[in-house]
Chain A
Amino acid sequence: GAVVSQHPSWVICKSGTSVKIECRSLDFQATTMFWYRQFPKQSLMLMATSNEGSKATYEQGVEKDKFLINHASLTLSTLTVTSAHPEDSSFYICSAIGGDDTQYFGPGTRLTVL
């Protein structure tokens, strides 16, 4: 089946630093990937849609200069949290669309900003 990986699975950083999270489709190509954010005991909130070879589309209220998305290849999208602050601490999950038009999710990345 379609497998999506994320790296790292967890990261701790100091306030003011930047963190990059990778999302890879391992056995299929994905022209479109999505980035979600999940707070404890809450549902997933879509942050942005990542399109290979073009600019990402951000949801209302998501700062594009803070959450930089790059989709440089058909199997890799990256999310960079710039100048991270404690309020950015969250669980970040990516997904990619498989050949059956189903979204497959990565295992998530737990970000803690001190």
Chain B
Amino acid sequence: AQSVTQLDSHVSVSEGTPVLLRCNYSSSYSPSLFWYVQHPNKGLQLLLKYTSAATLVKGINGFEAEFKKSETSFHLTKPSAHMSDAAEYFCVVTLPGTGRRALTFGSGTRLQVQP
């Protein structure tokens, strides 16, 4: 069984300040982990993914995430927030090599960026 917990339902930052969106996972096996972003009334866009290669994963739009097995965490960070980053972010887990199986979604974190 696997699950993912996003620790904050809502995060608000000022433009130009760092972003931290927290995610903890639970999995019986070494998981594959993803971060997706969803803008209002839009589908999901893949930001980055971890599949047991480098533990620090760089994604699009300046985002990155670090896989920490000892802490069962996969937090998403960005050094400097931009207004266009305001959106809903989902942390997702699945078993590796089983892409044909469905993803398990976290509950989402809404990122608000203040001018």
A6→B43 CA distance, assembly (Å): 10
Number of A-B contacts (CB under 8 A): 45
One of B13-21, B65-73, B98-106 contacting the partner? B98-106
Q: A34-B102, A43-B107 are in contact. Are A102 and B43 (CB under 8 A)?
A: no
Contact of A108 among B36, B41, B102, B103 (CB under 8 A): B41
Contact of A43 among B34, B46, B102, B105 (CB under 8 A): B105
A43→B46 CA distance, assembly (Å): 15
CB-based contact A93/B43 at 8 Å = yes
Contact digits for B75-115, partner A, Cβ 8 Å, 1 yes 0 no: 00000000000000010000001011011011110000000
CB-based contact A44/B45 at 8 Å = no
Q: How far is the CB of B88 from chain A (nearest CB, A)?
A: 9
**A104 at interface (Cβ–Cβ under 8 A)?**
yes
Complex interface: chain B residues within 8 A of A110 (CB)? 41
Closest 6 CB pairs of A and B: A101-B99, A107-B43, A105-B44, A105-B43, A43-B105, A32-B100
Q: Beyond A31-B100, A43-B107, A49-B102: 14 further Cβ-contacts under 8 Å?
A: A4-B43, A32-B100, A34-B102, A42-B107, A42-B108, A43-B108, A93-B44, A102-B34, A102-B46, A102-B49, A102-B99, A104-B46, A105-B45, A107-B42
Residues of chain A touching chain B, judged by Cβ–Cβ distance below 8 Å, are 4, 6, 31-32, 34, 42-44, 46, 49, 91, 93, 95, 97, 101-108, 110
